[in-house]
Amino acid sequence: MRPLLLGLTLAWAVLVSGAPIAAADEDLGQVGGKVIFNGKPLEEGVITFHLQNDQFVGGKIKDGRFLVDHVPAGTVKVTIESKKGTLPAKFADPETSGMQAEIKKGKNPRNFMLSG
């Protein structure tokens, strides 16, 4: 009975303290930069970093600029989609985009120069 009571007390203490429960020692990076298509900044779009197990993180592109937080460290595939349909469809598929990025813990500046 005492181990159960101790476990419940510890769980309650974590919940009351408001401390976030996070994966142990997960290395996260922040990726920011520009997307240029045919020499011009991409007006509006979405950039996605594809992780393992069909998971992904991404963010909006506005006037060619993007910033995505909480990207796990490692090599990831990258896709970019245009809200106005100005990009070729190959850039929106992780198997055909041809883009990948090596993400490290901390800030990762990355620019993507696309043409087509």
Q: What pLDDT is recorded for position 10?
A: 41
Q: For 34-93, what is each residue's pLDDT tens digit?
A: 999 999 999 999 999 999 889 999 999 999 999 999 999 999 999 999 988 889 999 999
Structure tokens at 99: 């883009």
Structural contact between residues 60 and 80, judged by C-beta atoms closer than 8 angstroms: no
Architecture of domain 24-114: Sandwich (2.60)
Residue of 56, 32, 60, 34 lying closest to 45 (CA atoms) = 60
In this prediction, residue 20 has a pLDDT band, given cuts at 50, 70 and 90, of very low
Domain boundaries, the chain: 24-114
Q: What pLDDT is recorded for position 83?
A: 86
Measured between alpha carbons, how far is 54 from 34 in angstroms, rounded to an integer? Answer: 25
Q: What pLDDT is recorded for position 85?
A: 87
Structural contact between residues 93 and 78, judged by C-beta atoms closer than 8 angstroms: no
Residues in the chain: 116
